[in-house]
Chain A
Amino acid sequence: MEKQTTTHSFIVPIGPQHPALKEPSHFRIAVDGEIVTGASVRLGYAHRGIEKATESRTWIQNLYLLERICGICSHIHGMAYCLAVERLAQVDVPARAQAIRVLFAELERIHSHLLWLGVAAHEAGFDTLFMYSWRDRETVMDILEQLSGNRVNYSANVLGGVKFDVDQLCIESILTGIDFLEERTQYYLKVVSTDALFLQRTRGIGTMSRRQAEVLGTVGPTARASGVDRDIRIEAPYAAYNQFPIQLTLDDKGDLEARVLVRLRELFESYRVIRQILSDLPPGDLTVRMPRRIQQGETVLRVEAPRGELFYFVRSNGSDMPERIKVRTPTICNLLSVVKLAVGHQLADVPMILVGIDPCFSCNDRTVIVDRANETSRQWSWKELRQYGSTYYQQRAT
């Protein structure tokens, strides 16, 4: 990528504290009047050192740590970790547990997309849609609370299966809730595709061709809105997606309106799969016994989070603590597209383009050193980071 020059123009900082962002990050937007002439991004404000922290906790404790990387994708992080560790330990999880995991994952996808719809409407200035979609989101949160006991961070996964069963009462309330939500989603689909002023804010904004989407490495609904036909649930089915397959949701226009429509249409797929799971729930146990020490090995696992492809690398050295866990979240793939697409648009479109990729900055802070002079990159160890920190502050004090 060529270097972004943002040094000599009028720079509007979006972040780290800004009402448009839900989490801190820094976008330096160079404007000329109202037209954006350059953009660059700085991350790292929400870095918590989770990957390092996993190395000093046992396998069971890590599940809950990794679940809290993100609030809206918490179940899918936990599920990816459990699937990876179960694969390393060569343990077969019962079918009922896998189906319940997929049930939670699809409910979480519904939750995430409804939340996103509200946030996108708020960024556009359409507060009424924001309030109503968040009111309807309460329905799915109530369902999740009834199933698991918590509205976010459901902690439904355990290594070897799930903790909570789905009984008849739960099934009835889920089906009632899904019926209500499907009716409301139809209404929102109509609103976002016919409301003239909302279309003025989304149609033709942030258009990304299929080639651009592939070169920039976008994933998830952002890529599917540009015609890239990739969905991990279809390409490499995991958990119970073999038994309950998903149909692909595509759009080829690639603008913001397409991204809104793709996310709303994915909701209908989720409703269908949930109904299918509830009617064909396989009988059986909920968990299987897992060893406390996982045998040596390494594995790579990809799942489809609500925002795109989530990638886990887990390496074990035979003890009861992992040796290395690497998490690559989807937002970091989509972020470059914002910086590229913002140039040439108006300043008022930049928050809309940003929200179009469904950003989740808590997931994506890493520390990588890029050595431009020698054209290499390496990662810092804990010791080097501490040393750098103390030297920096000592120099600042003098």
Chain B
Amino acid sequence: MEAPTISNELRNLFSLVLFPGGCFLILLGLSYEWVDRKLLARFQNRIGPRWFQPLADTLKLLAKEEVVPENVDLRLFVGLPIVALTGALTAGLYVPILGVKTAFSFSGDLIVTLYMLSLLTLCMGLAGANTLDRFSLIGATRTLTQLFSYESPFLLALLGPALFSSNWQISEIAASAGGRWLLLTQPIGFLVAIIALMGKLELPPFDAPEAETEIVAGALTEYSGRGLALFRLGKGVELVVGLTLISVLYLGGIADPLTFLIKTMALLFIIVVLQALLTRLRIDQTVGLWWRYGALLVLLQWFVIILL
């Protein structure tokens, strides 16, 4: 760590709040959400939204009245969206957003990033359990069940590269790979990581927790206005951070903005293709899938890494 001087602190504050963390990360999350929706629409032979649609959605939500249901714990109701967004933004501090080497990395920040990403899902589950609404309760149960099922394969898949380079710091893992693509040597881990990321983000086919046609909006049914806007922003940020994490660990690190865009967009493309192709899985089918195939695959990958 450098000696704390005024200009260092100011620089840290700038990168924390404005660029590349904070506001910039939120805007980046909105643009990735736009790319996701636009690509999905094009695959379905539709036009899709214009570039400012996610921004317009967020502004509209912030302008609407927030309806607080009866019998909720008010502090939890108001605080959970804030904690969720904070967790997602904090996770973004340790990954090289837009190729800018992060100033906050420390040894072991891989674990911190992963836990911050899970914090968002936990907050959504708690938010659903907070109310008396049937749909929210079922949605919260499903969110937490899904969290328990994909979380261990996801963690193990992302820790595979860490095992390979015997280091827990993201920037060090990327550096020790030396520009080589770990995708080629650990393909199973990459596959599990991508699909588990879809589970974490609750994208189809893993969107049982917010299945629109069964439980309205799942855990977030009772949210409106500002709370919903913050949750959605958190999800957008989570998308960016998740994609960056996988491309740093498996696709040979990120050196400059152009590489960042190309690699993360390629991963997003794969994710959108899978979204368009697959039907929603029931929650018991999701759990069965992950505990049968996901866990076995990633354990197989670990054996391969340890043996070689």
Quick one: given A128-B44, A135-B45, A349-B282, are A13 and B134 in contact (CB under 8 Å)? yes
Quick one: given A13-B134, A348-B211, are A131 and B46 in contact (CB under 8 Å)? yes
Query: Contacts of A127 on B, CB cut-off 8 Å?
Result: 44, 204, 276
**Which stretch in A54-62, A118-126, A258-266, A270-278 binds the other chain?**
A118-126
Quick one: given A132-B45, A349-B282, are A12 and B135 in contact (CB under 8 Å)? yes
B214 x A124 contact (CB < 8 A): no
CA–CA, A87 and B138, complex, Å: 55
- Taking the complex as formed, is B305 at the interface, i.e. its CB lies under 8 A from any CB of chain A? no
A12 x B283 contact (CB < 8 A): no
A125 x B204 contact (CB < 8 A): yes
Interface string of A344-381 (1 = CB under 8 A from B): 00111111000000000000000000000000000000
Quick one: given A20-B214, A125-B204, A125-B205, are A201 and B44 in contact (CB under 8 Å)? no
Query: Contacts of B134 on A, CB cut-off 8 Å?
Result: 10-13
Question: CB within 8 A of A125: which of B44, B138, B213, B284?
Answer: B213
For chain B, residues 283 to 304, give those with C-beta under 8 angstroms from any C-beta of chain A.
283-285
Interface string of A102-127 (1 = CB under 8 A from B): 00000000000000000001111111
B213 x A19 contact (CB < 8 A): yes
A19 x B282 contact (CB < 8 A): no
- Taking the complex as formed, is B19 at the interface, i.e. its CB lies under 8 A from any CB of chain A? no
**Which stretch in A37-45, A146-154, A192-200 binds the other chain?**
A192-200
- Taking the complex as formed, is A386 at the interface, i.e. its CB lies under 8 A from any CB of chain B? no
Query: Contacts of B211 on A, CB cut-off 8 Å?
Result: 125, 348
Query: Contacts of A351 on B, CB cut-off 8 Å?
Result: 213-214
Query: Contacts of A132 on B, CB cut-off 8 Å?
Result: 44-45
- Taking the complex as formed, is A18 at the interface, i.e. its CB lies under 8 A from any CB of chain B? yes
- Taking the complex as formed, is B43 at the interface, i.e. its CB lies under 8 A from any CB of chain A? yes
CA–CA, A123 and B216, complex, Å: 12
- Taking the complex as formed, is A145 at the interface, i.e. its CB lies under 8 A from any CB of chain B? no
- Taking the complex as formed, is B208 at the interface, i.e. its CB lies under 8 A from any CB of chain A? yes
A19 x B212 contact (CB < 8 A): yes
For chain B, residues 235 to 290, give those with C-beta under 8 angstroms from any C-beta of chain A.
276-285
- How far is the CB of A129 from the nearest CB of chain B, in Å? 8
Interface string of A131-145 (1 = CB under 8 A from B): 110010000000000
A195 x B213 contact (CB < 8 A): no
CA–CA, A31 and B134, complex, Å: 10
Chain A: interface residue total (CB-CB under 8 A) = 32
- How far is the CB of A20 from the nearest CB of chain B, in Å? 4
Most buried by A among B45, B135, B211, B214: B214
CA–CA, A124 and B278, complex, Å: 10
CA–CA, A333 and B110, complex, Å: 59
- Whose C-beta in chain A lies nearest to the C-beta of B145? A34
- Taking the complex as formed, is B36 at the interface, i.e. its CB lies under 8 A from any CB of chain A? no
Query: Contacts of A126 on B, CB cut-off 8 Å?
Result: 278-280
For chain A, residues 1 to 33, give those with C-beta under 8 angstroms from any C-beta of chain B.
10-13, 18-20, 31, 33
B276 x A128 contact (CB < 8 A): yes
CA–CA, A200 and B286, complex, Å: 11
CA–CA, A347 and B283, complex, Å: 10
- Taking the complex as formed, is B207 at the interface, i.e. its CB lies under 8 A from any CB of chain A? yes
Question: CB within 8 A of B281: which of A18, A128, A197, A349?
Answer: A197
A198 x B279 contact (CB < 8 A): yes
Query: Contacts of B207 on A, CB cut-off 8 Å?
Result: 125
Query: Contacts of B278 on A, CB cut-off 8 Å?
Result: 126, 197
B216 x A200 contact (CB < 8 A): no
Query: Contacts of A19 on B, CB cut-off 8 Å?
Result: 212-213, 216
- Whose C-beta in chain A lies nearest to the C-beta of B216? A19
Question: CB within 8 A of B213: which of A10, A31, A123, A131?
Answer: A123
- Whose C-beta in chain B lies nearest to the C-beta of A31? B138
B214 x A347 contact (CB < 8 A): yes
CA–CA, A139 and B280, complex, Å: 28
CA–CA, A347 and B282, complex, Å: 9
- Whose C-beta in chain B lies nearest to the C-beta of A135? B45
Interface string of B118-143 (1 = CB under 8 A from A): 00000000000000001100100100
Question: CB within 8 A of B284: which of A31, A124, A131, A346?
Answer: A346
- Whose C-beta in chain A lies nearest to the C-beta of B285? A200
B276 x A348 contact (CB < 8 A): no
Interface pairs (25), CB distance under 8 Å:
A12-B215, A19-B212, A19-B216, A124-B279, A125-B207, A126-B278, A126-B280, A127-B44, A127-B204, A127-B276, A128-B43, A128-B44, A128-B276, A131-B44, A131-B45, A132-B44, A132-B45, A195-B279, A197-B205, A197-B279, A200-B281, A201-B279, A346-B282, A348-B208, A348-B214
**Extra 4 A-B pairs, beta carbons < 8 Å, given A34-B138, A127-B44:** A33-B141, A125-B280, A200-B282, A350-B214
* Top 9 A-B pairs, shortest CB-CB distance: A125-B280, A131-B44, A126-B279, A197-B279, A20-B213, A348-B282, A123-B213, A198-B279, A12-B134
